[in-house]
Structure 1
């Protein structure tokens, strides 16, 4: 039986809204806003402690968001999609990840925010805003959420996967603050940036692949 169900609608408008929010957030960070300073202090006081178990978890789990790990995971996902002949989804994945991480590099060097001036629990180099771990994980797992919505038929399994994919970038962001290598505003900025690229990337996928495919099936 041919699936004639219309795909999720275009996300250009929410993507644009997230882009505006991200731009405002980046301006506040780069200008040294007192609001950002207060926000960072409040979240740090809530999250950070000297619990041994938390330290061990954070210092280990944070490595799962390293750039090389995210790149390997992206390549594996890309290859799997190609093997199953999901070419549009494969290039949506690769293009969105490349755009998000490339843009992240540009913003980091444009703002040049230094990392927290405290002892880091893990090694970290480069500038602080936005958090590359947060951008990479939010983008990759945001893509996985989109693919899950599009490809998984079982509602129960779909819900479980979406919850799992959502938890991963949240935990990665938590570890970046806990290990003192990022401010909370870096992490939030990274999440917003990642979501922005996922939404805008899906908009291209929708207009150039999903909608034309649906119209062809529906009209046949």
Structure 2
């Protein structure tokens, strides 16, 4: 059931725009562009420090973006949606997460960017671009934002939850830079990729589920 009278219209246009932005960003990273170097250096200079409280927060909070944690959270969300018979939303969730993380693996091995050489504050292996933590968190919490818009009636709770969901990927991305396992451009690329797949998934959800349901209601 759709608990909102005016769900945002789903379109491939915003998703296509993000695809282009992501493609340009990935090309700049893979080519070692000076623009990327300047961007990374500027952001690192602002974010990174040796404050013990910040180090403790970053090394702990970054674990919330681990693949295992994101996978468990996705499975729990999927089960909850199935339990409440929100089958379309459940498959929307699963589809976006599978595609986003699968594509992330492909891009990592296509670009083959090495991680920052500075001492890492947490363990990290594999290639650097894009940040898997950023992709996974942007996709999962982007899905939660979509579900909140569609299923929550109260404007207060809707606004509050959207703010909370948006903060998680921002903070997780911040910690990946702070603990020196990713360049800022990795994190930004991960956010763009995650958002892109959420937009693509919602475009299909709207076209094949929400729009037909709305037409049925108007015809009754």
Task: Classify the TM-score, shorter chain.
Answer: over 0.9
Q: Which residue of 1 aligns with 2:28?
A: 28
Deviation at 1:7, TM superposition (A): 2.2
CA shift digits 1:172-198 (9 cap, x unpaired): 000000000000000000000000000
Distance in 2, matches of 1:62 and 1:103, equals: 22
Contact 1:61 1:172 in 2 (8 A): yes
Q: Which residue of 2 aligns with 1:89?
A: 89
1:159 aligned onto 2:154: no
CA shift digits 1:53-75 (9 cap, x unpaired): 00000000000000000000000
Contact 1:7 1:211 in 2 (8 A): no
CA shift digits 1:34-93 (9 cap, x unpaired): 000000000000000000000000000000000000000000000000000000000000
| TM-score, structure 2 normalization | 0.98
Q: Which residue of 1 aligns with 2:185?
A: 185
CA shift digits 1:124-182 (9 cap, x unpaired): 00000000000000000000000000000000000000000000000000000000000
Distance in 1, matches of 2:191 and 2:183, equals: 13
Contact 2:135 2:191 in 1 (8 A): yes
SS in structure 2 of the partner of residue 7 of structure 1: coil
SS in structure 1 of the partner of residue 96 of structure 2: helix
Deviation at 1:4, TM superposition (A): 8.0
Write out aligned runs for 1:179-218 (5 A).
Answer: 179-218=179-218
Contact 1:4 1:218 in 2 (8 A): no
| TM-score, structure 1 normalization | 0.98
